[in-house]
């Protein structure tokens, strides 16, 4: 793989990778995920929404071992402390950068769609370039003494090597254990650090702070781009397996290859048609998400997601 040695990119108000240990190789299919966090902060469940309530940008880290950057019940690192108290991610980036080679794919920042909005939405599409098994998300809850939300070491690739298709998780608030404050607007009260713990009492009351949705979208297939891909359509989608490919370029198709979510080729069909519609029967395939790769006679390709129900 092409190596990028601890490359930091400066971002402003856009979603993007701020740290990447590796670039994407040119001969591997890379999973692409849509990731969404929807805040559910509300006065009824969380006692109040204080003035100026907001989140820091959501930080996503893709890594190889569980509890690599925080562990519930254990003291917070300086990076987690600064994120929880200040919304400052600089030291956390340094901790990621100091990770052993090959143990982190990337750190990605997702800004919320509305500033100073307790019920804001954060969403992004992420391409994974390394086979890292876990994802951790973090964001400061503000105002607060040292509180943050976290989903720690979510398994996005199981032990058998299969990428998850979709997950929906409740996300909770945690006390970093570095300040004795007990309310949103408590004054600074540094303490002798104790272990990170879920906030089960006032004012959060143990209630979830939001919902995280992780949805597999496609594989990034590193092949030449089919310039007229928008003219080709697969329907119905979702389907029971019987589909039609339509468009001006159908007559120029040479083959149709179907891949499962593991990236394995499960169907390889040669095409030779003079019609503007190509009908295919994929009903023998199991229910799930597939990638349909359309190859033309002049070597160009396009790939589209297909859901078989």
Q: Domain segments of the chain: what residues?
A: 3-218, 223-308
pLDDT computed for residue 131 by the predictor? 75
Structure-model confidence comparison of residues 40 and 22, the more confident one: 40
CA triple 189-195-199, angle to 5 deg = 75
CA triple 168-170-174, angle to 5 deg = 145
How many beta carbons lie within 10 A of that of residue 9, not counting itself? 10
pLDDT-derived band at 3 (thresholds 50, 70, 90) equals: very low
pLDDT-derived band at 23 (thresholds 50, 70, 90) equals: low
Residue 78: phi and psi, rounded to 5, are -60, -35
Q: Rounded mean pLDDT of the chain? A: 85
pLDDT computed for residue 7 by the predictor? 30
**How do residues 178-189 score in pLDDT, each as one tens digit?**
999 999 999 999
pLDDT-derived band at 306 (thresholds 50, 70, 90) equals: confident
**How do residues 113-150 score in pLDDT, each as one tens digit?**
887 788 889 998 888 877 789 999 999 999 999 999 99
Pick the CATH number of 223-308 from 2.60.40.3080, 3.40.50.2020, 3.40.50.9100, 3.30.1360.70: 2.60.40.3080
Tokens 């105002």 -> residue:
143
Q: How far is CA 73 from CA 23, 65, 76, 194, 232, in A?
A: 34, 17, 9, 8, 53
CATH architecture of 3-218: Sandwich (2.60)
Q: Which of 56, 46, 288 is nearest to 166 (CA)?
A: 288
**Of 64-68, 94-98, 143-147, 169-173, minimum mean pLDDT range:** 94-98
Q: Which of 153, 154, 146 is nearest to 174 (CA)?
A: 146
Structure-model confidence comparison of residues 220 and 117, the more confident one: 117
Instruction: Using the predicted structure, report yes or no on whether residue 293 has a pLDDT greater than 90.
Output: no
How many beta carbons lie within 10 A of that of residue 126, not counting itself? 20
The torsion angle over the Cα atoms of residues 86, 89, 95 and 99, rounded to 10 degrees, is: 150
Structure-model confidence comparison of residues 125 and 69, the more confident one: 69
**How do residues 74-105 score in pLDDT, each as one tens digit?**
999 999 999 999 999 989 988 887 888 788 88
Structure-model confidence comparison of residues 179 and 158, the more confident one: 179
Q: Region 253-273: what's the mean pLDDT? A: 86
Q: Which of 186, 181, 216 is nearest to 199 (CA)?
A: 181
Q: Region 166-174: what's the mean pLDDT? A: 97
Instruction: Using the predicted structure, report yes or no on whether residue 229 has a pLDDT greater than 60.
Output: no
Strand, coil or helix: what is 251?
A: helix
pLDDT-derived band at 298 (thresholds 50, 70, 90) equals: confident
Q: Are strands 147-155 and 134-142 parallel, antiparallel or unpaired?
A: antiparallel
Q: Region 205-228: what's the mean pLDDT? A: 78
Q: Provide the whole-model pTM.
A: 0.71
Query: Which among 24-33, 96-105, 173-182 has the top mean pLDDT?
Result: 173-182
pLDDT computed for residue 77 by the predictor? 98
Q: Region 222-251: what's the mean pLDDT? A: 77
Return d(Cα 204, Cα 184) in angstroms, integer: 9
Instruction: Using the predicted structure, report yes or no on whether residue 193 has a pLDDT greater than 90.
Output: yes
Instruction: Using the predicted structure, report yes or no on whether residue 16 has a pLDDT greater than 60.
Output: no
Yes or no: say if 120 and 65 are a contact pair by the CB < 8 Å rule: no
Instruction: Using the predicted structure, report yes or no on whether residue 42 has a pLDDT greater than 80.
Output: yes
Q: Region 40-66: what's the mean pLDDT? A: 95
Yes or no: say if 146 and 175 are a contact pair by the CB < 8 Å rule: yes
User: Is-same-fold flag (3-218; 223-308)?
Assistant: yes
Instruction: Using the predicted structure, report yes or no on whether residue 260 has a pLDDT greater than 80.
Output: no
């Amino acid at each position: 793989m092409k190596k990028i040695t601890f490359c930091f990119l400066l971002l402003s108000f856009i979603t993007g990778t701020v740290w990447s240990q590796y670039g994407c190789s040119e001969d591997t299919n890379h999973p692409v995920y849509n990731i969404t966090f929807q805040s559910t902060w509300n006065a009824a469940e969380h006692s109040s929404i204080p003035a100026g309530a907001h989140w820091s940008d959501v930080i996503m880290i893709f890594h190889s071992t569980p509890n690599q950057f925080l562990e519930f019940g254990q003291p917070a690192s300086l990076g987690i402390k600064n994120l929880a108290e200040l919304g400052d991610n600089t030291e956390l980036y340094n901790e990621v950068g100091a990770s052993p080679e090959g143990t982190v794919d990337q750190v990605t920042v997702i800004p919320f769609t509305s500033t100073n909005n307790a019920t804001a939405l954060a969403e992004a599409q992420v391409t994974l370039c390394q086979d890292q098994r876990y994802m951790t998300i973090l964001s400061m809850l503000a105002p607060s003494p040292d509180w943050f939300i976290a989903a720690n070491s979510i398994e996005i690739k199981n032990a058998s090597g299969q990428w998850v298709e979709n997950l929906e998780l409740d996300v909770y608030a945690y006390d970093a254990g570095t300040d004795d404050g007990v309310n949103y607007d408590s004054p600074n009260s540094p303490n002798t650090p104790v272990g990170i713990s879920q906030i089960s009492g006032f004012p959060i009351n143990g209630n979830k702070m939001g919902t995280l949705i992780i949805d597999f979208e496609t594989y990034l297939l590193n092949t030449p781009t089919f310039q007229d891909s928008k003219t080709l359509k697969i329907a119905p989608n979702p389907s029971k397996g019987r589909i039609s490919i339509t468009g001006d370029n159908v007559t120029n198709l040479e083959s149709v290859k179907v891949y499962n979510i593991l990236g394995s080729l499960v169907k390889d069909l040669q095409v030779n048609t003079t019609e503007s519609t190509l009908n295919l029967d994929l009903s023998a395939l199991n229910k799930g998400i597939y990638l349909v790769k359309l190859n033309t006679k002049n070597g160009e390709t396009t790939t589209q997601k297909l859901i078989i129900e």
